[in-house]
Amino acid sequence: MEGAGPSGCSGEDFEEDVATSVPAAVRRALQLLEEDDADLRIQAACDIRRLTKKSPCCRRQLRHAVRPLVSMLRVDSSESRESALLALLNLAVKDEKNKVSIVEAGALEPIVSFLKSQNPNMQEYASASLLTLSASATNKPIITSSGAIPLLVKILRDGTPQAKADSLMALSNLSTHSDNLHIILETNPVASIIRLLKPCKKSSKTAEKCCALVESLVGYDKCRTALTCEEGGVLAIVEVLESGTKQGKEHAVGALLKMCQSDRCKYREPILREGVIPGLLELTVQGTEKSQPKAHTLLQLLRESPNPRSETEPNTIENIVCNLISQIDGKDDQADGKAKKMLAEMVQVSMERSLRHLQQRAALVSTPSDLSITSCASQVSLNW
């Protein structure tokens, strides 16, 4: 998105200034912002956008441009508003002071109004701006009080694909402020989140943020009910648990665990029905420090009896899986064999992945000819 913008933003003089002296280009942009000519101010905004696209130094040097650019957001000219918004967006990227300064300068009112624009480009730029500004803890409650959350959820439902993705991430940022959760929930966002999650690649950033937002909201009964009522809702979370990024898997198993902990009798069957067990088993073996214990706990809750077993029948994953399979099949005599087969497959997958990792590492270093990398074996502990 940072590469898009008004057509009047090019010029050989600009390229020459950047090539010879960035400070000179910065000074010229600041001077042009003070001109009465609207076209010169638009050119200044375009120059600032380009200067700050990849340069943290220029973002610091151009902090004085924030207020003039915010003033341009209120001008009755779509070209002025668009060029100023894109410049502010780049100024805010990875710069906490600029994020706060932009909000303090009064940018939220026009930016929020752009969320209601009939121009899809302005909706996209406004969503991206709120995504960036909401990364600041200082800005989160101010953005909430501006009335942005219901509009972001509306875009999540009806916007362009890019606007939906940015609105989702902005909502995910805002959800980390606990006071915002009930406000987000009041807008009934779950159906829109799941509709965005179901068709997307489960290892994508979008899927990760969908699950992060669901995990934050699933502590509320309203969210849990909406998730189970939405066709394919629980399944979509399970798919991220199986195929997502490491963080996505953490959020997915966290969401399912919260559901089961809130009301095991109500949510155990909907979770089991979506085939969650293989993914949970893999997480207990190969998950992160956060996802492994969550997967263990969820497996325990999915057992027929949540009470600990006796010392003679310990809480190993094999016993838990055996218990689960016997309930699903209704045949206790086959459950033990199926559980062992499933666990054996998990161990084999883990060993194969570990072996591939060792081979990749070996290719990067000099390996003695008498050392066969295939002789290495990985051991996987399956006990708690």
pLDDT digits (tens, 9 = 90+) for 222-233: 999 999 999 999
pLDDT, average across residues 368-380: 35
Residue 265 scores a pLDDT above 70:
yes
Q: Give the pLDDT of residue 179.
A: 87
Q: Give the pLDDT of residue 355.
A: 53
Report how far residue 168's alpha carbon sits from residue 179's, in angstroms, rounded to the nearest whole number. Answer: 18
Classify residue 352 as exposed, middle or buried by CB count within 10 Å of its CB (0-12, 13-18, 19+): exposed
In a domain, residue 149? The reply is: no
Q: What is this structure's pTM?
A: 0.76
In a domain, residue 309? The reply is: no
Report how far residue 153's alpha carbon sits from residue 185's, in angstroms, rounded to the nearest whole number. Answer: 10
In a domain, residue 44? The reply is: yes
In a domain, residue 102? The reply is: yes
Q: Tell me how far apart the terminal alpha carbons of the chain are, to the nearest angstrom.
A: 47
pLDDT for 340-354, tens place per residue? 565 555 545 545 544
In a domain, residue 311? The reply is: no
Could you tell me the two tokens for 194? 């799941």
Q: Give the pLDDT of residue 287.
A: 93
pLDDT for 277-334, tens place per residue? 999 999 998 999 999 999 999 999 998 655 554 444 455 555 555 555 555 445 555 5
Helices (H), 147-276: 148-158, 161-175, 181-186, 190-197, 205-217, 221-229, 233-243, 246-262, 264-273
Domain count, the chain: 1
Report how far residue 217's alpha carbon sits from residue 371's, in angstroms, rounded to the nearest whole number. Answer: 52
In a domain, residue 61? The reply is: yes
Q: Give the pLDDT of residue 70.
A: 98
Domain that includes residue 91, residue range: 1-106
Q: Give the pLDDT of residue 175.
A: 95
Q: Which of 38, 59, 145 is nearest to 102 (CA)?
A: 59
In a domain, residue 10? The reply is: yes
